[in-house]
Amino acid sequence: MIDAERRVEAYLRGATRGLWGRERATVREELEAHIRTRTAAHCLAGASEAEALERALAELGHPGQVNAGMSRLYVPPLTLLSLRQALRQFRGRPLESALIVVAVALGVAVVTAVAALLDLDRQARARYDALLAAREITVQPVESDPHAFSLPSGVTVSAKRLGAVNEPPVRFSPGDLQDALVAAPSVEYAYIAEARSYFKREWVTENPDFPNPIYGLSVTPDYLRAARVEVVSGSLFAPSDFEQGGVMLISAEGAMRLGLPDDPVGATVTFDATPSQPSFTVIGVLPAPIAPPAGDWAYHLLTPFAPAPFTTLDKLTFAVASARDLPAARAELADFARAVWDERASVSVQPGREHVLQGQRAVALVIALFASAGLVVAALNIMNLMLAHVLRRHRHIGIVRSLGATGRQVRQQFLIEAIVLGSAGGIVGVLAGFGLLAAYNRYLSLELGSAAFSVSFSPLAANVGMVLAVAVTVLFGLYPAATAARVRVVDALKGV
Amino acid sequence: MNPDLLRGNLDLILLSILVDEPKYGLEIIAEAKERTGGYFEFREGSLYPALHRLERARLVDATFAPSDRGPRRRYYRLTRAGSERLAEKRREWEAFTGAVEALWAAK
């Protein structure tokens, strides 16, 4: 009794395989009714129960054939069955599948890394602009410029300068700042920022040999604009501050060092060991100390500076609004400097920022080109592997076709497998790509010592990578899938 | 019976059987066998897919109905589109056989 039930159940399951939901239930019920009625009829005719059942099932035919007939009608294009089949392939042929996944992953990893790098390039450029040092141009006497003799591009220093001692020293005055601004339209800001050091007597007792002073900058109004100085509390300098002095902006760290309360705005600080014993009232707190172009210390204080018109300056400092303007500004200032001071003044930007003057974009494009080449290679690889994949399953395809699967269904089956493999490859590739970026990140921070270049993992790059993986795999799986569909049953079953 | 001939005309045969009243699978098989004197003996496994195909094409309607004994049965009934198709196929058939017979007629 139980056996009969199981037999019927097995038959019904085979006949309705791949069907879902209502269709499955309907076909099932219909077939079951047919089987039972037939069996009963045979029993009446004198057969035993078991025999009757067998005969009924035999008359109905092989469940696979019934299924094939039904499947052709009911199976929608993308069924879970196809997906299950795809995953089964994955498990059944792990090496082959793994190869395809790796091929995809390689291409995707490269593209992801490049996409993120290009994005990084954009971000770095933006963050760059925020650094004042990246936008600064200095005009100073040739003798005092340590970089004057080391490949500045655009300023020529003649050899005789090296021995020149009889010429009057170059001196700058605040008026030159204004003149230069007029002569160089690409320059946005002109300012003076002179370093100052302050200390208190009690620090000497801490370390008599090296009493560490606290450093600050004395600046003209344009500096605040150029450096985009902001305060977290209090306010920036007012124009009157530049006339009177006696105020300062301090960083939180500096305030702590000076033993000021948590909100130091309004507190007054007096320093020692300077002739005029300057005391300052804090009017604003800076979010962070200002880092100098090179060196480990930082400027914690900003004080207003209003030089008298006859003051001599060691150098003139200018800045552009965006690093992009740097080359033009530099050229203009060079012309101006040459006009006013002959060859005695040199115009320089920060070393290491020189590369801003050469197109970074070109580098990015070259990287992208190489990445594309890598992707093309990967894609061809994928097609190759998928073809092999298909050819291996020749017999399988033949059998499936003989049972009634249409070419369309076979093709779709392979496409779904391509999607599954592509997705797997995409995930691996994106992870690998970010791994590459992390390594690049590490390299950058070691080489240039600048945290300003750290890579952020852009979700855009991840999406691009995934979409690309699936797209490429499907695209390059189309040809193999079409080949699979075209397999002739006769050829495939030869030798079965 | 030549299976090739059957294959091309299965629709015509099934629609013809369903012309009078709704019938279920086994009934259709039985009737086909009886009325043609045993000529049409369907392989039952291929009947149901064919019926379902006709249903999908809306040439027949199918509903379950309870039976006096045993499980409920699925009855197939001709729709209007189905009768139109039947008429069409009959015309086709008559034209075809007419032409073939014309070839045998004395010249």
* Span B21-40, average pLDDT: 88
Q: Which pLDDT tens digit goes with each residue over A88-111?
A: 777 777 777 787 778 777 777 777
Q: Is the pLDDT of residue A360 over 70?
A: no
pLDDT bin (cut points 50, 70, 90) of residue A120 is low
Q: Look at A259 and A127; give whichever has higher pLDDT.
A: A259
A175-179, A401-405, B5-9, range with the lowest pLDDT? A401-405
pLDDT at res. A289: 82
Q: Is the pTM of this model over 0.80?
A: no
pLDDT at res. A452: 46
CA atoms within 13 A on the CB side of A149: 8
Of B49, B64, B70, the CB nearest to A66: B49
Q: Is the pLDDT of residue A463 over 50?
A: yes
pLDDT at res. B83: 92
Which residues have CB under 8 Å from A297's CB, separation 6+? A215
Q: Is the pLDDT of residue A207 over 90?
A: no
Mutate to test the interface with B, among A39, A73, A75, A403 (most CBs of B within 10 A): A73
**Radius of gyration of chain A from its Cα atoms, rounded to whole angstroms:** 39
pLDDT at res. A357: 43
Q: Which pLDDT tens digit goes with each residue over A298-317?
A: 888 888 888 877 788 888 88
Q: Look at A191 and A487; give whichever has higher pLDDT.
A: A191
For chain B, say whether A232 makes contact (Cβ under 8 Å): no
A313 touches A172 (CB < 8 A): yes
- Across chain A, mean pLDDT equals 76
Distance (Å) from the alpha carbon of B103 to chain A's nearest alpha carbon: 37
Q: Look at A249 and A374; give whichever has higher pLDDT.
A: A249
End-to-end alpha carbon distance in chain B:
30
Angstrom distance (rounded) from CA A112 to CA A462: 7
**Strand pairing category for A214-219 and A299-304:** parallel
Distance (Å) from the alpha carbon of B94 to chain A's nearest alpha carbon: 29
Q: Which pLDDT tens digit goes with each residue over B75-105?
A: 999 999 999 999 999 999 999 999 999 999 8
**Percent of chain A scoring above 70 in pLDDT:** 74
Of A33, A60, A74, the CB nearest to B45: A60
Alpha helices in chain B (DSSP H): 3-17, 25-35, 44-56, 80-104
Q: Is the pLDDT of residue B106 over 80?
A: no
* Span B31-59, average pLDDT: 86
